[in-house]
Structure formats: C-alpha cells, structure tokens
Amino acid sequence: MIIDEIKEAVSKDFISKNTRQDGRNFLQYRDITVTKNIIPNAEGSALAQIGDTKVYAGVKIDLATPYADKPDEGIIVVNSELSPIAHFKFESGPPTEESIELARVVDRGLRSSGAVDFKKLFLEEEKVLSVYVDLAVVDHSGDLIDCSYLAAMAALKSTMVPKYEDGKLLHDERPNKLEILNDVVCTSFEKISGKLLIDATDDEELASSGRVSFASCDDSHFCAGQKSGSAGFTVKEMDSMMDLALEQRKLLVSKL
C-alpha cells in the first residue's frame, strides 16, 4: 500500500536523523497510564494506555479440572483479540498469527515468573481455579506487547477471588485478593535503519525490520523473550537490550 510506504519512509527519515516524529528520544516511552478495576463485572480488570495505544485486560476465574500431569495446580489461560475496532488492518475472524503470538508471549512471562502461585489455586481433588486473562486491543498505535503486559499485570493485581462453597464458585462474593508474587513487565525494541528504539508507534513499526521483547520479573531476571521480524541481532545488541530493558523496568512497575 502506497500510504504505508510513505509512512515507512517518513519514520525512517526521522530515525536516520536520530530523532522521532513525535520528538521522543529512542529510549523513551510515550505517556503511560494504567487504570485498574475498569470492568467491575470481571474479577480483575485494567486499561493500559501507552500514548494512543489502548489495551483492556479482564480476568475471569472459573472452576476447572486440573491437567493430568499437575493435579495439585490451578490453570492460567491468556488470550488476545486484535479487534477490528483497533486498526483498519485488523479483520474479524479466527485469531491471526500476530494475535496468537501476542497472547503466547504474555502468557510465557506470566507463567515463567511465578507471579501467580498455581498451588494456591487448588481447591480439592479434581477441582482447581482457572484464571482467564483476556486481552482486548481496542486502539493500536504500536507497542502492543508492552501495553498488553501492563494491562494483564494490573488486571491480575486487582483480581478478587470468588468464594468457593459446596462445590460451587460464588461470583458475587469475592472476599480475597489473588496473591501476586512479582511484577512482570516487558520492553520491546524495534530495529529501524539499523538503530534500536523502544515503544514504537504503528507508523514506526512499518519501518521496523525486527523486534525483540524482554520481560523481567525482578531487577535482574528475565522471564520471557521473543524475537520477531526478519532482522538479525548480534549478541552485543542482545546484551545491551537486556540492560536497557531492566533500566525501563522501574518506570513500568511504577504504573502498575
């Protein structure tokens, strides 16, 4: 599409001059806001915004049968929807590979970090709690992975667990908070004209040759990583992105 080619050229032009269209430096997020409990019907919820990007996350808790290989542990399921409301390029229909990748990268970080203690979701034999984290991307102006992590994490931190009584889950009685053991946040880097920058807009993403995302669960540990796009990255670049991701961690955690 000709418009995309123009947007790509403009983004590259700015970046080659060491600046960005919105005036930010390469390692600067747009304004971030996170609002918790925005969908009171859900057990936990949040709206995360990075610049014009908006992602809702809702947490629902249901009864489930545990997996056969982990009979004493609860379940977490992360799904995402790239709704056509969010961008003209998103279409309704079965989940695209982008949407599956987004959900799986968020899932990987939440699961690996041990943020949710699965053993505490055990109720009785053959009965555990299943935590569904659903991401609804409603406005896509870039950096969906980082924004989705913020939304999912904030929603989990606001989650109240329904009461379990006589084999049933009482959704209107939610006495206890879901215990969350650490804050998982993610910073994604885009490679544009050979340079690395964070929090790309959708226009900048058009110019990107590749992305690397690093999720961290404390000041020195990573709990998820993903490379996407055709660009290659040297070990030196990976090394510096890991440092930079940890540097951004404090800011992101302060928004949760």
Partner 1 sequence: MKITKDQLLVNGKRNDGRSPDDLRSFKVTAGVLKKAKGSAMVEWGKNKVLVGIYGPGEVFPKHLTNYTKALVNVRYSMAPFCGAEEHGRSGPNRRAIEIGKVAKHVFENIILTRDFPRTQIDIYIEILQSDGGTRVAGITAASVALADAGIPCKDLVQGVSAGKVNDTVLVDLDKWEDNLGEGDCPVVVSLRSNEILLFQLDEVWTKQQVLQGFEKIFNAAKVLRQVQEESLKENYKEG
User: Coil, strand, or helix at residue 162?
Assistant: coil
Shortest CB 5 distance to partner 1, Å: 10
Instruction: Say how far apart CA 52 and CA 56 lie, in whole Å.
Output: 13
Residue 149 burial (CB count, 10 A)? 30
Residue 75 lies near partner 1 (rule: CB under 8 A): no
Interface with partner 1 in residues 156-215 (CB under 8 A): 210, 212
- What element of type H or E holds 49? strand 44-50
Applying CB under 8 A, which of residues 123, 222, 253, 255 lies at the interface with partner 1? Answer: 222
Contacts of 157 (CB under 8 A, 6+ apart): 36, 44, 180, 256
Identity at 17, one-letter amino acid code: K
Applying CB under 8 A, which of residues 100, 138, 244, 253 lies at the interface with partner 1? Answer: 100
Residue 235 lies near partner 1 (rule: CB under 8 A): yes
Contact 152, 57 (CB under 8 A): yes
CA atoms in the 13 A half-sphere facing the CB of 59: 28
Phi, psi (5° rounding) for residue 3?
A: -60, -45
Residue 212 burial (CB count, 10 A)? 22
Residue 219 lies near partner 1 (rule: CB under 8 A): no
Shortest CB 181 distance to partner 1, Å: 12
Pick the stretch among 28-36, 56-64, 198-206, 241-249 that binds partner 1 (CB under 8 A).
Answer: 241-249
CA atoms in the 13 A half-sphere facing the CB of 69: 0
Q: Which is nearer to partner 1, 21 or 228 (CB)?
A: 228
Structure tokens of 210? 């590749």
Applying CB under 8 A, which of residues 12, 24, 111, 255 lies at the interface with partner 1? Answer: 111
Q: Which is nearer to partner 1, 111 or 127 (CB)?
A: 111
Residue 227 lies near partner 1 (rule: CB under 8 A): yes
Residue 92 lies near partner 1 (rule: CB under 8 A): no
Shortest CB 222 distance to partner 1, Å: 5
Shortest CB 99 distance to partner 1, Å: 10
Applying CB under 8 A, which of residues 119, 232, 247, 254 lies at the interface with partner 1? Answer: 232
Contact 157, 180 (CB under 8 A): yes
Instruction: Say how far apart CA 224 and CA 146 lie, in whole Å.
Output: 12
Interface with partner 1 in residues 9-28 (CB under 8 A): none
Shortest CB 59 distance to partner 1, Å: 20
The residues of the shown chain that bind partner 1, judged by CB under 8 A, are 95, 97-98, 100-101, 103-104, 108, 111-114, 210, 212, 217, 220-235, 238-239, 242-243, 246
